[in-house]
């Protein structure tokens, strides 16, 4: 038997399927509009479940990508801070003081509270 072939149904399974079909047909004959509404409600519920599952999958993928990008940005930020600390530690005291004064003046120009001037 190949993978796409279904096993043969037993006589009991065939009888059960026939009875289920007959029950559905009786419901349709009794009240066609209610049977249609019931069938449409089942289809709608199935479609909503599929849509919610798809949305959850897409949302998880987006969040995973966002987290990866944020991790990369954090790595870059840390690297830049380390580079800056290395540059500043190798700079002379006079250059560091001049740069600190430059930052203080920019903060004053921007209207930000400046740290007190260190002598």
**CB count, 10 Å around CB of 44?**
10
Query: Which whole number is the average pLDDT over 12-27?
Result: 90
Q: How many CB atoms lie within 10 A of CB 49?
A: 10
Banded pLDDT at 4 (limits 50, 70, 90): low
- Does the pTM of the predicted model rise above 0.75? no
Confidence bin at 40 (pLDDT 50/70/90)? very high
Structure confidence at residue 114 as a pLDDT band (50, 70, 90): low
CA distance linking residue 29 with residue 38, whole number of Å: 14
pLDDT digits (tens, 9 = 90+) for 64-111: 999 999 999 999 999 999 998 888 787 788 887 888 899 899 988 887
């Amino acid at each position: 038997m190949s993978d796409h072939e279904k096993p043969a149904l037993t006589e009991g399974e065939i009888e059960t399927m026939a009875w289920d079909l007959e029950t559905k047909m009786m419901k349709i004959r009794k009240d066609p509009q209610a049977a249609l509404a019931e069938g449409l409600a089942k289809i709608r519920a199935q479609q909503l479940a599929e849509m919610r599952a798809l949305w959850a999958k897409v949302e998880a993928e987006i969040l995973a990508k966002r987290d990866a990008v944020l991790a990369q940005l954090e790595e870059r930020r840390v690297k830049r801070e380390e580079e800056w600390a290395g540059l500043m530690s190798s700079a002379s005291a006079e250059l560091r003081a001049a740069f600190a004064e430059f930052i203080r003046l920019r903060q004053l120009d921007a209207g930000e509270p400046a740290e007190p001037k260190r002598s």
